[in-house]
Structure 1
Amino acid sequence: MRRLPFVLLLCSTLAYAELPETDWLELMPPADRKALEAMPDISHQGAEAGGTFTSKGGLKQEKGLPAVMYSAKTVAAMNGKQIRIGGYPVPLESDSKGRSTQFFLVPYPGACIHVPPPPPNQLVLVRYPKGIQLDDIYMPLWVTGKLQVEKISRDLADAAYVLDAAKVKVVEETDL
């Protein structure tokens, strides 16, 4: 039996290992993190709270919020990085079988129905041509792929990052 050199064996094992989890705060520059920590409480009593969400721009930030809530400042070191990040989907586009192929990933559940939304540097546009069946927006996901610093503006919201997903899976209790 031929033995593989240890380095090759280690490399092949690491290739199949999960990437470490990227924390959402890693997507914010230090100054934004500090400003977020010092931010006063914000009211969640917008149009969506009353069930009257009908206009475009529902996730876009309202005027009068602290500046950090509009921040699209990014972390240059994250550009081109392979990451694994957990979050919640906000479906945008789907294929003919109803699987979501593009969605915003947000750091907390309900970000798609509460005001204000996360700042653009806490919204990630996920492109996943393979698609995933999203039956529930409160279903947490792991998304793995290549992150790009790219500002995206959609009717619904603005994002400062795009993630070309290689893998999207529902978070299982055993993952926690």
Structure 2
Amino acid sequence: MRSYWLCIFLLLPLWLEAAPRTVDWLDLLPQEDYQAMLDMPEIGHEGTEELPGDFSSSMRQRDENLPEVMYSTRVVSELDGEELRIAGYPVPLESNAAGLYTSFFLVPYAGACIHVPPPPPNQIILVDYPRGIAIDDIYEPFWMSGKLNIDQTSNELADASYRFEADKVWVYDGE
């Protein structure tokens, strides 16, 4: 019995080190952007009309009434190459032959491309998940774990400051 506990005691640090650290979206903001977000007035989204499922237009539109922090590409360089876990909402981009999404944006709140201003680029993560996942509802959050990289990416839909090489993606379960 003694050797059992000794083994657990010796292996526990390795197990804890192997688990990816869970981060929050605010952890992706450099200090100056974090403070600017805290000081920002609430943003309304009235007056925008899109069809449900139309992801093609609003994430790239610039609203001159929004503060500059809403367009920030500044990043937290210490996170580059880190194995992390984060939860967010998908914005589908590319699917494989089986109809599973292998590329999507992850954003901090639901409907970021429909009826609400998009998050700033440093709050958008381009996710690569070669295994693919079904995304039936963009209002259903997902957890993912893998490697976060700083990678300024731009496509017709949005700009992203981070890229995530996902090892695992699963429906948000609270923990």
Query: Could you say what secondary structure the match of 1:142 adopts?
Result: strand
TM-score w.r.t. the length of structure 1 is: 0.86
TM-score w.r.t. the length of structure 2 is: 0.87
The answer to whether 1:133 aligns with 2:149 is no
Aligned to 2:49: 50
Aligned to 1:80: 81
Give identity over the alignment, percent: 49
Structure 1 residue ranges, 4+ long, deviating more than 4 angstroms after superposition = 1-8, 52-57
The answer to whether 1:60 aligns with 2:26 is no
- CA distance 1:39–1:15, change in 2 (3 Å): closer
Unaligned runs of 5+ in 1: none
Distance 1:41 1:82 in 2: 33
> Aligned residues, how many?
171
RMSD over aligned Cα atoms:
2.4
Unaligned runs of 5+ in 2: none
- Judge conservation of contact 1:68–1:119 (CA < 8 Å) in 2: yes
Aligned to 2:24: 23
Once the two structures are superposed, residues 58-84 of structure 1 have per-residue CA deviations (whole angstroms, 9 ceiling, x without a partner) of 202423120000000001101011110
Once the two structures are superposed, residues 41-70 of structure 1 have per-residue CA deviations (whole angstroms, 9 ceiling, x without a partner) of 323135xx3226979542024231200000
- Judge conservation of contact 2:122–2:160 (CA < 8 Å) in 1: yes
- How far 1:12 sits from its partner (Å)? 5.2
Distance 1:171 1:55 in 2: 22
- Judge conservation of contact 1:60–1:116 (CA < 8 Å) in 2: no
Distance 2:127 2:39 in 1: 29
- How far 1:164 sits from its partner (Å)? 0.4
Distance 2:55 2:96 in 1: 24
- The residue identity in structure 1 corresponding to 2:59 is L
- The residue identity in structure 1 corresponding to 2:50 is G
